[in-house]
Amino acid sequence: MTMTNAVVLIEAERDALSSLGGALADVEGVAEAYSVTGEWDFVAIVRVPDHEQLADVVTGRIGGLSGVVRTQTMVAFAAYSRHDLEALFSIGE
């Protein structure tokens, strides 16, 4: 089963900065949530079975949280990680 993976950038209202991270982490479909520096306040890693659920998570759940000003979503075409690459090249050792 292939999953749909996305990175969601989130701008928050100043008053929501202390509470929004926990609220994001509690959203079903959000695998990880980070507070970050720069233009955006939070990054959420979303993993869901299909694109329809991605739309529901981003617009319905994340966008509906109190304090969310705007989001930008980037859907991943392929996923790479050092762990996965090391496992691939260690086959047969």
**1-18 burial, b for 16+ CB within 10 Å, e for fewer?**
eeebbbebbbebeeebee
Work out the average pLDDT over 50-75.
Answer: 96
* pLDDT cut 90: percent of the chain above it: 76
What's the pLDDT band for 84 if we cut at 50, 70, 90?
Answer: low
Least confident of 44-48, 65-69, 85-89: 85-89
- For the chain, the structural domain boundaries read 4-89
pLDDT tens-digit profile of 59-70?
999 999 999 999
**pLDDT reading at 23 higher than 90:** yes
Beta strand extents in the chain (DSSP E only): 4-12, 30-35, 42-48, 68-75
Q: What is the pTM of this model?
A: 0.84
The domain made up of 4-89 has a fold known as Alpha-Beta Plaits (3.30.70)
**pLDDT reading at 14 higher than 80:** yes
Pair 57, 46: CB distance under 8 Å? yes
Tokens of 16: 């929501």
